[in-house]
Amino acid sequence: MSGRSGLAGESVRRYDNCSPKGRQGSPGCSGRTIRMGMLDTLVTERLVAT
């Protein structure tokens, strides 16, 4: 996974995506781009549930 960011109005949005996708474009990886906050929540919930 690698991070990237973009602006939405005046706020910065941070995303995680597949590393090869960032370098090679869509053919590099079939993984999705996901907002970091959402990924953090999903991982935390999964860890707490186990």
CA dist 38 and 32 (Å) reads: 13
**pLDDT, position 49:** 92
- Residue 47 to residues 3, 32, 34, 41, 43: CA-CA distances in angstroms? 22, 21, 18, 10, 6
**pLDDT, position 44:** 92
Each residue's pLDDT expressed in tens, for the chain with a length of 50 residues = 677 777 777 888 887 777 665 566 666 677 777 888 888 898 999 999 97
**pLDDT, position 22:** 57
Q: Is the pTM of this model over 0.85?
A: no
**pLDDT, position 33:** 77
